[in-house]
Amino acid sequence: MRKIDKGIKKDFPIFKNNSGLVFLDSGASTQKPKVVIDAVKEVYEKYYANVHRGIYKLSEESSELYEQTREKVAKFINTSSEREIVFTKNTTESINLLAFTWGYQHIKKGDVILVTEMEHHANLLPWRELAKQKKAIIKYVPVKSNGRLDMVKLDKMLTSKVKLLAITHMSNVLGTINPIKKIVTKAHKKGIKVMVDGAQAAPHFPVDVTDLDADFYAFSPHKMLAPSGVGILYAKEEILESMNPFLTGGSMIAHVTHKEAEWNEIPFKFEAGTPNIEGVIGFGSAIDYLNSIGMKNIFKHEQKITKIALRELSKVEGLKIMGPKESKDRGAVFAFTLDDIHPHDMATMLDELNIAIRAGHHCAQPLHQSLGIEATTRASFYLYNTEEDIKKLVRALIKVKKLFK
């Protein structure tokens, strides 16, 4: 296994081309290692052709590499069937796909869809729109003041009226890691299906969908070193088989007559049109890179970063971190406020100091409303971030604070 040390940064050309850059916005999208960039370049230079169509060598080669990524994804999240892996555009599309297919088939008037207060808009609005169309009811599982999900309230809310629980594995604002396995077991006892938003989980720690037993799991490769424009939807095979198609057109059919159409087998039934061929193949290379380090080691590194960040950030007077104050079941995402400095001013000033950071509501506006604030500044870390990056951030925050006095 490759060790996580300062050498890791050297794998990422962006750091060579932007000397001194402290990149703290991996929660939005990560930087790409040279191996991934090279893999994409190689597709174009050596075997680019459309997949699953051509009866010629190039197309066969690109199709094979494309499908190899599907096998790698299945292994990466520990499912034995790559038929359960659907390529989409991103997490947002994965969840919309589900809402427009499974959701339209199963949610009826008066049914309850549970979401949590810490959901990203991607795992909230598709369900809200579905509920509007179907006259179903949306209920929010509250978040406690310590940034953890209120498990007592959740227990009470898991009633027979609930058809779906849509829940994030890890919050992109609070950093909270939810006990998904425990929650899925409880939900399943009541016959409730569970959709897990793994956008902030799959990049950072091992995810085992077989062990979690969630019915649906979505994530975004661009948040885990891969090119953008690719998303993953995992769904249990028997559910996927029963779902109507989302988009119709080329590639997703087995046979079409003037009047009828027979759908392709899963997962192709859900992959209409030409996909992001180079992006998917690039994702295969990103998985190889992550595996060469090991997801357990990546999580260990981020746990270390989390401990140090919590300690160092707490030294900045007036800084308030959202979410749990302890590193247990918490990821390396820190949304915070500092005095009354507006997060946009903060991000602009940090940018002057070569620190890239996110400011705003991070697509979790209802959560910010519950927290009683409009916006936060967010620092999110990944495997290429170091203790030195945290120290640079803290020094910069103190500088900005002085300037605003």
Site string for ligand PLP, 23-42 (x = CB under 6 A): ----xx--------------
H-run or E-run covering 112: strand 112-116
Least separation in angstroms between residue 45's CB and ligand PLP is 27
Binders of ligand PLP: how many residues, by CB under 6 A? 15
Pick 79 or 90: Cβ nearer ligand PLP: 90
Out of 62, 69, 200, 385, name the contact with ligand PLP by CB under 6 A.
Answer: 200
Strand 22-23 with 137-141, pairing:
unpaired
Pick 72 or 120: Cβ nearer ligand PLP: 120
From CA 3, how far away is CA 404, in angstroms rounded?
41
Query: What is the number of H-type helices and E-type strands within the chain?
Result: 15, 15
From CA 158, how far away is CA 105, in angstroms rounded?
21
DSSP, collapsed to helix, strand or coil, labels residue 333 as strand
Least separation in angstroms between residue 154's CB and ligand PLP is 18
Pick 200 or 306: Cβ nearer ligand PLP: 200
Least separation in angstroms between residue 179's CB and ligand PLP is 16
Residue 168 sits in the site that holds ligand PLP (CB under 6 A): yes
From CA 240, how far away is CA 156, in angstroms rounded?
29
Pick 62 or 171: Cβ nearer ligand PLP: 171
Tell me, yes or no, if 145 is annotated catalytic. Answer: no
Q: Which of residues 94-153 bind ligand PLP (CB under 6 A)?
A: 120, 122-123
Quote the distance between the C-alpha of residue 169 and its chain's center. 9
Pick 27 or 279: Cβ nearer ligand PLP: 27
From CA 156, how far away is CA 354, in angstroms rounded?
47
From CA 136, how far away is CA 123, in angstroms rounded?
16
Out of 11, 117, 197, 302, name the contact with ligand PLP by CB under 6 A.
Answer: 197
Residue 285 sits in the site that holds ligand PLP (CB under 6 A): no
Residue 380 sits in the site that holds ligand PLP (CB under 6 A): no
Q: What is the 3-state secondary structure (H, E, C) of 349-377?
A: HHHHCCEECEEECCCCHHHHHHHCCCCEE
- Answer for the pair 172, 199: CB distance below 8 angstroms, yes or no: yes
Catalog residues that contact ligand PLP under the rule CB under 6 A.
27-28, 90-92, 120, 122-123, 168, 172, 197, 199-200, 220, 363
Residues with catalytic function: 363
